Amino acid sequence: MKTVTLNGEYLTLEEVQEVAEGRARVKISPSVNRKVNRSRNFVEKALQHGEKIYGVTTGFGFLSDQVINPSQIEDLQRNLIRSHSVGVGPFFDEVTTRAIMVLRANVIAMGYSGVRIEVLKQLVEMINKRVHPLVPEQGSVGASGDLAPLAHLTSVLMGEGEAMFKGEVMSGKKAMKKAGIPLLTLKAKEGLALINGTQVMTAVGLLALLRAERLCKIADIVGACTLDALKGTLSAFDRDIQRVRPFPGHLAVSKNFQKLGRYSKIAASHKFCSKIQDAYSLRCIPQVHGAVRDALAFVRRILEIEVNSATDNPLIFPDRRKILNCGNFHGEAVAFALDLLAIAVSELGGISERRIEKLINPALSGLPAFLTSEGGLHSGLMMVQVSAAALVSENKVLAHPASVDSIPTSADKEDHVSMGTIAARKGREIVKNVENILAMELLCATQGLGFLLPLQPGIGIKEAYHIVREKVPPIKGDRRFSEDIQKIQSLIESGELLHHVERVVGGLR
């Protein structure tokens, strides 16, 4: 199994995913011990000198003016975790929880948190031994970071809360005991350090982004299938067109379509037809799919920075002999990026639904109505477009930016918040919806291609057709199409469809 080394500097989005999905273990870089220990020693010395430090010798938020007796510092940290464990709703799945944990560990590995190395080692042990705290999805406004969900995660380090271990839900204390991991008594600053940060919104957003990036390639494959099924032209994908409006995403999409549509006998059959140009949902695929790519490239840059950023408060700078109160836990940058992800990916679904309409509407497609040869007795794929339309409309609601909202919390001390975790969760749901919409389009497109046989589509399109046909037979009469959609969605989500098509045409951009 691959090992990912944490040093707080070079963690990649793909490495987070590998750990989250259980394909990699985690270890701490030797350089981390010195950084973490120096930071912790500086905190200890400040305590010895009687310095007033937010959240260490004071209360939290509005209560930060309350000075805490040194004898109650451990109680302060424990009470913080207990009082902030107020999350509700469904729990994050294990993959997301593991992503949150590795991101939190990487922040501590940077050496600005002021916690003991034992805290980091315990987090790493929990990841490697697969102790997964049950973390509710709802309850974070993304202000001082993801306070409520991270408090639920931290509870298990203390032997409280609940966790999943070896497929069984149990108390945090029991899970840690079964895994052979000693419990922690949180010392000064440690509870605060574990819950200040954007790791929940970043983890959810990161996993959604990686899924969305793959979905961009899938959208090109599916769109190319529809283009051939509708006897559309590749002329709108000519490189010269993109050269005079040189957005990187536009060029990438055009290159993909040239690969996918190569050697299409269908395209050759209507080369000299009377049609001048295609509808926007076909002709403007480079401009729409490409813009989605460029938007996601921006999201990636933001998350790559955030993954390796210190998001605690206060931050400890032992080399400069400073303990600085700050707002690095505020999720605005991530919230903006994930709102953009939601908007961009929803457009992949919107244009896909329009292509579905072109496929099933005989006035637009030249194919049998609703792609059934026995219309009337059979309804064919009529309702597939309706289902896609429902998901598109749902995405329009979900794509409303979360980051434009703010609500004061903590007696107006935290008077502006990011709503970044809500943005992340909405983006994740949109990605799932668009996977289903594209599965619906591919169901329709492959059925349409079947009506054009024996004319053969482009080589990449032909491969996609065959992969679908291995799971979903041609539609002879009405059946439960939801089962077909699910099978195609599984081909998309698993990466199987993309793998087989790229094996034939080469890597897609």
Name 496's Cβ contacts closer than 8 Å, sequence gap at least 6: 467, 490
Q: Is the dihedral of CA 485, 486, 487, 488 positive or negative?
A: positive
CA 443, CA 469: separation in Å to the nearest integer?
10
pLDDT-derived band at 63 (thresholds 50, 70, 90) equals confident
Average pLDDT over residues 354-359: 98
Determine the pLDDT at residue 449: 97
Of 148, 115, 144, the residue nearest 133 (C-alpha): 148
Residue 65 has pLDDT above 80, yes or no: no
Determine the pLDDT at residue 119: 97
Residue 105 has pLDDT above 80, yes or no: yes
- Position 313: which residue type? N
Average pLDDT over residues 428-451: 98
CA distances from 86 to 82, 150, 332, 403 (A): 8, 10, 22, 22
Higher pLDDT, 17 or 52: 17
Name 474's Cβ contacts closer than 8 Å, sequence gap at least 6: 447, 450
Determine the pLDDT at residue 409: 87
Average pLDDT over residues 171-190: 96
Average pLDDT over residues 364-393: 94
Of 40-49, 58-67, 186-195, 210-219, the poorest mean pLDDT is in 58-67
Residue 272 has pLDDT above 80, yes or no: no
Determine the pLDDT at residue 54: 82
Higher pLDDT, 413 or 294: 294
Q: pLDDT tens digits, residue range 114-162? A: 999 999 999 999 999 999 999 999 999 998 889 999 999 999 999 999 9
Average pLDDT over residues 324-343: 95
Residue 418 has pLDDT above 90, yes or no: yes
Q: pLDDT tens digits, residue range 37-54? A: 999 999 999 888 888 888
Q: pLDDT tens digits, residue range 473-492? A: 999 999 999 999 999 999 99
Determine the pLDDT at residue 359: 97
Kindly state the DSSP code that residue 499 receives in the 8-state scheme.
H
Q: Helix, strand, coil: what percent of the chain each, to 5?
A: 60, 10, 30
- Position 337: which residue type? A
275 burial via Cβ count (<10 Å: 0-12, 13-18, 19+): exposed
Determine the pLDDT at residue 71: 83
Q: pLDDT tens digits, residue range 345-354? A: 999 999 999 9
CA 329, CA 181: separation in Å to the nearest integer?
29
Q: Is the dihedral of CA 127, 132, 137, 138 positive or negative?
A: negative
**Residue of 54, 112, 280, 465 marked active site:** 54
Average pLDDT over residues 216-229: 98
Determine the pLDDT at residue 47: 86
Task: Please give the share of the chain, as a percent, with pLDDT higher than 70.
Answer: 100
Determine the pLDDT at residue 460: 97
The beta-strand segments (E) located in 230-356 are 315-317, 322-324
What are phi and psi for residue 234, nearest 5 degrees? -85, 0
pLDDT-derived band at 414 (thresholds 50, 70, 90) equals confident
Residue 61 has pLDDT above 80, yes or no: no
Residue 442 has pLDDT above 80, yes or no: yes
Q: Which residue has the tokens 């790791």?
A: 199
Residue 215 has pLDDT above 80, yes or no: yes
Determine the pLDDT at residue 33: 95
Kindly state the DSSP code that residue 412 receives in the 8-state scheme.
T
Residue 62 has pLDDT above 80, yes or no: no
Residue 376 has pLDDT above 90, yes or no: no
Residue 64 has pLDDT above 80, yes or no: no
Residue 56 has pLDDT above 90, yes or no: no
Residue 190 has pLDDT above 90, yes or no: yes
Of 472, 465, 435, the residue nearest 448 (C-alpha): 465
Decide if 54 is catalytic.
yes
Average pLDDT over residues 330-354: 97
Of 55-59, 92-96, 311-315, 353-357, the poorest mean pLDDT is in 55-59
CA 139, CA 134: separation in Å to the nearest integer?
14
Average pLDDT over residues 361-379: 91
Determine the pLDDT at residue 59: 75
Determine the pLDDT at residue 508: 97
Q: 169 with 134: CB under 8 angstroms?
A: yes
SS (H, E, C) 79-105: HHHHHHCCCEEEECCHHHHHHHHHHHH
Determine the pLDDT at residue 67: 82
Determine the pLDDT at residue 401: 97
